Amino acid sequence: MIPKKELPECPVATTVSLIGSKWKLLILRNLLHRPWRFNELKKDLNGISQKVLTESLRSMEADGLIKRTVYPQMPMRVEYSLSELGESMRPIIASMEVWGKSYKESFRE
């Protein structure tokens, strides 16, 4: 978690510091639909390395955006889901999706 004293003064910069990487946004996009396991995310996020996925998930968990649930079974099962704070990102990601579709459609005309 980024200490409060180290957060940028600008609210947009704060948001970018939390979710500004390509991979974090795509992880959030996936978690908006359902909980995911690590290997599912790795397979779905074409091109992400295991190291980057691990670092991104740890960072997002530390920032309070996602929850990591460990199920006590053999083999051990771990799922990642959005926290309440992560759920609050839903309208932001939805707006980005709408804008992205509109942008892509502008090239078809």
**Which pair of structure tokens corresponds to residue 28?**
């959030």
* 85 falls within a domain: yes
* 30 falls within a domain: yes
Does 104 score more than 70 pLDDT? Answer: yes
60 vs 27: CA distance, rounded Å: 10
**Which pair of structure tokens corresponds to residue 7?**
């957060």
Percent of the chain scored above 70 by pLDDT? 95
Count of domains observed in the chain:
1
Local confidence band at 94 (pLDDT 50, 70, 90 cut-offs): very high
Does 23 score more than 70 pLDDT? Answer: yes
* 11 falls within a domain: no
* 7 falls within a domain: no
Mean pLDDT over residues 62-76, rounded? 92
CB of 18 closer than 8 Å to CB of 8: no
State pTM to two decimals: 0.85
Strand order in the sheet with 77-82: 36-37, 77-82, 66-71
pLDDT of residue 9: 83
